[in-house]
């Protein structure tokens, strides 16, 4: 193996993108925008990290860890300049499904003698759930890195936009349902498997009479306040240099009120609880859990990558640079696998944070690195101040942040007008995700999307083409009024690729549109060919019989013909042989001429690989050669017209000769 210095340098720069762009970083052009953007996004990370930790069913401080370590890793290895990676609602709820399934409350019940009641050992439960979250996150990162190393970035092409939007909408519904317990202050049982969401909703409705009024009031006030300030942000968007940090203000105000009023002691409002200061030491994930979470890890890797690369490409197109899909897989994989070692849960890209990062002037990933520094300061010195924060406020933040996903329901009427199959994919993905949970729902949705691809090839649009007068342009006759069909030439087009699954439909459509029955023509050709073969065999048998008879006659008359000249005998045999060859030659000529009149074939092909496939598949023969192929429809039409004129001229010449 050889590797030159320039090639090694190029490999290093592509594998570690920060080495290529950071040395050329312009302080004058980018520093101020990245600084403002980094602080703004860092402030958003605080409430969102804590809130999404509730979705992952782990203590809030682990949401802060997930907003720090992975961001620094992506800063080094990521290729997008604008996206904000970190905690994400859909990913968090998928993690929560795994942690609650493998570490349910029922596994940590303990009996308290003082009260004669059973209660959950919260400390032991949370410790186990953190281990589960770290294991599935680490494994999902390994999957992403593996896919990136084998150049499998094209997998995102199978996640169409309707599928992604329908999936995120369905996952958002799971998120909302999972937070109802914090809104009403109730404790429903954890359901898993298909239809778990429906069972949870039914149980929540059953437990509504047990609602904690204090928790409900905190929830409603928080939701109304957040919505009002966000609407104010929208109204004053062009006048404000940076958006009002509504979420940060919300948790600060709620924490102060909770501390002063003692919401937990007087009204039973559940609060965040202890938030340890400092950073956690690295711990290798529990390998024994890998077998139980391998399916969930793969689903997380695909969903997280699909969301991040989709958003990254949007901003790359907007600002004129390229996002490497395979490098993004490696960057996200490293972020998750290293994050798993530091007890983080799986991350992806957040639309809301990315929009803030871009709108506040962020131009490079330096903004994300600065936001991580904000989180570091909070974890080291400020985090403990939020121990009295009600969990209902975090649930309210989640609800309000999901309003963008809920607006995606408006995709349905839009897709109905533009593409009904895409609308079907959107609706089916939503239903499958809601019914079968995000992990199984994703697999079922991709399978359904693949079926629609087959469905589209089975129902293509067939049309006959006509020529726009005095041009080489051909358009469907049924769609355009000013196109003319070519006399004696049928131009048939299909909107789908022709292959074994739709070949018969193609044949039926051709017969319906043009009146050309391929089956009938092939049948006639086979009958003519069989008739020709029978005639040849009959003539061969007759010739053999005649030859045998002639031989017997020759033997019988041998004595009488000995005096004849041998050259005369040879001449007669030669004439007889030539006569038989002439009859056979005429038979072949008549057959070929009939076949030519029955079916004239011309193909308009311009793709080299298609021609190569036809050649390797043995399509071409003496009768159907490459001379039948043309680079454009117009060339094929001109050839057909020339052949038709030649045939007509030959027919006229034959008629004159006969007369």
Q: Give the integer Cα–Cα distance in Å for 408 and 413.
A: 10
Q: Among 406, 433, 452, where does a domain finish?
A: 406
In this model, does residue 429 exceed pLDDT 70?
A: yes
In a domain, 551, yes or no: no
In a domain, 280, yes or no: yes
CB 141 within 8 A of CB 328: no
In this model, does residue 38 exceed pLDDT 80?
A: yes
In this model, does residue 648 exceed pLDDT 90?
A: no
The pLDDT of residue 280 is 84
Name the more confident of 336 and 105.
Answer: 336
Q: Which residues, including other chains, have CB under 8 Å from residue 445's CB and lie 6 or more apart?
A: 163, 166, 167, 425, 428, 429, 432, 433
Residue with tokens 């009859």: 583
Q: Give the integer Cα–Cα distance in Å for 274 and 383.
A: 9
Instruction: Please indicate, yes or no, whether residues 71 and 197 belong to a single structural domain of this protein.
Output: yes
In a domain, 235, yes or no: yes
pLDDT band at 291 (very low <50, low <70, confident <90, very high): very high
Instruction: Please indicate, yes or no, whether residues 505 and 616 belong to a single structural domain of this protein.
Output: yes
In a domain, 563, yes or no: no
Share of the chain above pLDDT 70, in %: 85
Q: What is the mean pLDDT of residues 98-105?
A: 90
Q: What is the CATH number of the domain that holds 508?
A: 3.30.750.24
pLDDT band at 656 (very low <50, low <70, confident <90, very high): very low
Instruction: Please indicate, yes or no, whether residues 475 and 392 belong to a single structural domain of this protein.
Output: no
Instruction: Please indicate, yes or no, whether residues 511 and 365 belong to a single structural domain of this protein.
Output: no
The pLDDT of residue 513 is 77
Instruction: Please indicate, yes or no, whether residues 339 and 470 belong to a single structural domain of this protein.
Output: no
Q: Which residues, including other chains, have CB under 8 Å from residue 523's CB and lie 6 or more apart?
A: none
* Helices 503-514 & 518-556 angle (0-180, nearest 10): 100
**Burial of residue 206 (number of CB atoms within 10 Å: 0-12, 13-18, 19+):** exposed
Q: Give the integer Cα–Cα distance in Å for 122 and 61.
A: 15
The pLDDT of residue 212 is 94
- Sign for the CA dihedral angle at 141, 142, 148, 151 comes to negative
Q: Which of 282-286, 323-327, 578-582 has the highest mean pLDDT?
A: 282-286
Rg of the chain over all Cα atoms, to the nearest angstrom: 38
Q: Which H or E run includes 604?
A: strand 603-604
Q: What is the mean pLDDT of residues 58-76?
A: 94
How many domains, in total, are found in the chain? 2
In a domain, 614, yes or no: yes
CA distances (Å), 234 to each of 137, 239, 282, in order? 35, 10, 42
Instruction: Please indicate, yes or no, whether residues 57 and 143 belong to a single structural domain of this protein.
Output: yes
The length of the chain in residues reads: 659
Whole-model pTM over 0.85 = no
Residue 443 structure tokens:
């697999």
- Chain-centroid distance of CA 434 in Å reads 19
Q: What is the pLDDT of residues 225-279, one digit of tens each?
A: 999 998 888 888 778 777 788 888 999 999 999 999 999 999 999 999 888 888 8
Instruction: Please indicate, yes or no, whether residues 355 and 494 belong to a single structural domain of this protein.
Output: no
Q: Give the integer Cα–Cα distance in Å for 110 and 121.
A: 6
Helix, strand, or coil here: 21? helix
pLDDT band at 375 (very low <50, low <70, confident <90, very high): very high
Q: What is the mean pLDDT of residues 499-515?
A: 73
Q: Among 406, 434, 449, where does a domain finish?
A: 406
The pLDDT of residue 582 is 34
Q: What is the mean pLDDT of residues 533-555?
A: 78
Instruction: Please indicate, yes or no, whether residues 483 and 611 belong to a single structural domain of this protein.
Output: yes
Residue 146 structure tokens:
């593996």
The pLDDT of residue 254 is 94
pLDDT band at 13 (very low <50, low <70, confident <90, very high): confident
Q: What is the mean pLDDT of residues 49-70?
A: 93
Instruction: Please indicate, yes or no, whether residues 290 and 379 belong to a single structural domain of this protein.
Output: yes
Domain of 9, in residue numbers:
5-111+119-406
Chain mean pLDDT for the chain: 82
Which spans in 236-289 are helix H? 246-261, 263-267
Q: Give the integer Cα–Cα distance in Å for 306 and 325.
A: 10
In a domain, 618, yes or no: yes
Instruction: Please indicate, yes or no, whether residues 355 and 471 belong to a single structural domain of this protein.
Output: no
In a domain, 564, yes or no: no
The pLDDT of residue 3 is 67
The pLDDT of residue 649 is 60
Instruction: Please indicate, yes or no, whether residues 486 and 345 belong to a single structural domain of this protein.
Output: no
In a domain, 543, yes or no: no
pLDDT band at 655 (very low <50, low <70, confident <90, very high): very low
The pLDDT of residue 76 is 94
Instruction: Please indicate, yes or no, whether residues 140 and 208 belong to a single structural domain of this protein.
Output: yes
* DSSP string over 179-226: HHHHHHT--PPP--STTHHHHHHHHHHHHGGG--HHHHHHHHHHHHHH
The pLDDT of residue 605 is 52
Q: Among 360, 381, 406, where does a domain finish?
A: 406
């Amino acid at each position: 193996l050889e590797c030159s210095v320039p090639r090694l340098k190029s490999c290093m720069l592509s594998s570690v993108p920060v080495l290529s762009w950071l040395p050329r970083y312009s302080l004058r052009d980018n520093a101020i925008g990245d600084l403002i953007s980094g602080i703004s996004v860092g402030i958003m990370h605080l409430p969102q990290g804590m809130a999404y930790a509730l979705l992952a069913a782990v203590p809030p401080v682990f949401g802060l860890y997930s907003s720090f370590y992975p961001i620094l890793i992506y800063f080094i290895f990521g290729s997008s300049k604008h996206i904000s990676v970190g905690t994400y609602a859909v990913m968090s709820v998928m993690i929560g499904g795994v942690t609650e399934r493998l570490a349910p409350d029922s596994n940590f019940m303990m009996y308290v003698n003082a009260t004669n009641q059973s209660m959950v050992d919260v400390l032991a439960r949370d410790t186990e759930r953190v281990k589960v979250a770290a294991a599935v996150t680490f494994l999902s990162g390994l999957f992403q890195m593996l896919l990136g190393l084998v150049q499998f970035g094209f997998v995102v092409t199978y996640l169409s936009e309707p599928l992604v939007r329908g999936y995120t909408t369905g996952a958002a519904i799971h998120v909302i349902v999972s937070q109802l317990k914090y809104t009403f202050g109730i404790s429903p049982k954890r359901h898993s498997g298909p239809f778990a969401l429906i069972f949870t909703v039914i149980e929540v409705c059953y437990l509504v009479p047990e609602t904690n009024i204090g928790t409900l009031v905190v929830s409603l006030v928080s939701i109304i306040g957040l919505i009002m300030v966000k609407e104010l942000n929208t109204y004053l968007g062009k006048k404000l240099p940076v958006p009002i940090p509504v979420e940060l203000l919300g948790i600060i105000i709620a924490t102060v009120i909770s501390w002063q009023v003692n919401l937990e002691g007087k009204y039973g409002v559940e609060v965040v609880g202890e938030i340890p200061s400092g950073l956690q030491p690295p711990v290798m994930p529990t390998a024994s859990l890998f077998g139980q979470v391998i399916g969930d890890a793969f689903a997380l890797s695909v969903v997280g990558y699909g969301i991040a690369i989709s958003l990254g490409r949007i901003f790359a197109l907007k600002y004129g640079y390229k996002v490497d899909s395979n490098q993004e897989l490696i960057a996200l994989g490293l972020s998750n696998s290293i994050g798993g070692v530091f007890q983080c849960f799986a991350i992806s890209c957040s639309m809301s944070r990315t929009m803030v990062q871009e709108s506040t002037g962020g131009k490079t990933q330096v903004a994300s690195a600065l936001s991580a520094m904000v989180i570091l300061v909070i974890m080291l010195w400020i985090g403990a101040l939020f121990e009295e924060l009600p969990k209902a406020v975090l649930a309210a933040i989640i609800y309000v942040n999901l309003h963008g996903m809920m607006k995606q329901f408006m995709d349905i009427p839009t897709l109905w007008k533009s593409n009904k199959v895409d609308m079907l994919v959107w609706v089916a993905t939503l239903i499958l995700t809601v019914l079968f949970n995000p992990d199984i729902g994703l697999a079922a949705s991709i399978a359904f999307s693949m079926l629609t691809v087959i469905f589209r090839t089975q129902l293509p649009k067939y049309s006959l083409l006509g020529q726009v007068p005095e041009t080489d342009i051909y358009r469907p006759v049924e769609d355009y009024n000013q196109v003319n069909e070519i006399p004696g030439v049928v131009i048939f087009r299909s909107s789908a690729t022709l292959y074994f699954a739709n070949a018969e439909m193609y044949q039926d459509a051709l017969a319906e549109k043009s009146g050309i029955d391929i089956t009938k023509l092939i049948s006639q050709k086979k009958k003519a060919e069989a008739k020709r073969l029978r005639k040849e065999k009959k003539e061969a048998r007759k010739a053999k019989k005649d030859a045998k008879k002639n031989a017997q006659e020759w033997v019988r008359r041998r004595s009488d013909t000995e005096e004849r000249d041998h050259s005369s005998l040879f001449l007669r045999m030669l004439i007889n042989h030539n006569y038989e060859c002439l009859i056979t030659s005429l038979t072949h000529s008549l057959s070929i001429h009939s076949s030519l009149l029955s079916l004239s074939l011309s193909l308009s092909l311009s793709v080299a690989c298609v021609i190569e496939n036809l050649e390797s598949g043995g399509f071409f023969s003496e009768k159907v050669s490459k001379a039948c192929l043309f680079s454009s429809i117009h060339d094929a039409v001109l050839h057909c017209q020339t052949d038709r004129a030649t045939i007509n001229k030959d027919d006229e010449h034959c008629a004159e000769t006969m007369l």
